[in-house]
Structure 1
């Protein structure tokens, strides 16, 4: 059984490996392994993860069974959108998907921002399992982005949002 807890410095290498594996499994068919390697090196390095872990007004969680991490999630209050929390990452290793781990991490992240009125995220338009997951959790499309994550990514995204109660 996996439990959701706040990530710590000692988790960062495992989270980096989890993200690399999950990204290759999900995005190699869309962008190719070289592009995925480039993005994961930039976005999922231990240093990049450490900066997320240390950010104020943010929450970084992992799903842990005591010997392995099955998933990770990261959300932070927006710097530009009032009363909006941005779900930057929610990933579960493919072998553990569809077992409620993503749901449990998402439920935890949803409750971490009592002042937020809405949650926003970006998702790859071809990632139909992720789209189905987010729609099932109350998200609706509010826009598009040519570059998900950063201005040089070359990765398109749908922008989804939901109201928080």
Structure 2
């Protein structure tokens, strides 16, 4: 049984490992081991995770069983769009997927931004499992980008949004 809680600095090594494992399981077939390793080392390093943890107007959660960190989620208010929260990450270890962990973390993150009217995210176009998950939670495609995450990633993404009804 997992419960969702706010992440702390002591969780970050496990979160980094979780992100490495989930990224390789999901994206190696699409981008190759080397590209996934490069992005993981950049985006999921301890310094990168510490910066997210310290960011204001953001929420960083983990799914914790007391023994394992089975998932993580991170969202923050947009720095460029008003009243918009951006879901940057929502990942569950492959061995714990399809147990409701992603749903529970998403439900928590969705309530953390009372001033937001929209939640936005980017998702890899070939990641059908993630797209299906987000559509089931009310997201619709609103656009596309050629570089998900940062301008140099070279990873295409679908942009999806969901109204946050208060």
TM-score range, shorter chain: over 0.9
Give the alignment of 1:102-113 within 5 angstroms. 102-113=102-113
Aligned to 2:45: 45
Q: CA RMSD in A?
A: 0.3
C-alpha distance after superposition, 1:60-113 (max 9, x if no partner):
000000011000000000000010000000000011111000000000000000
CA distance in structure 2 between the aligned counterparts of 1:52 and 1:153, rounded to whole angstroms: 18
Q: How does 1:19-38 map to 2 (within 5 A)?
A: 19-38=19-38
Secondary structure class of the residue paired with 2:95? helix
The within-5 A match list for 1:9-158 is 9-158=9-158
CA deviations over 1:36-65 (Å, ceiling 9, x no partner) = 000000000000000000000000000000
5+ long unaligned stretches in structure 1: none
Number of residues of Structure 1 aligned to a counterpart in Structure 2: 165
Normalising by structure 1, what TM-score?
1.00
| Runs of 4+ residues deviating >6 angstroms | none
Tell me the TM-score normalized by structure 2: 0.99
Distance 1:124 1:47 in 2: 24
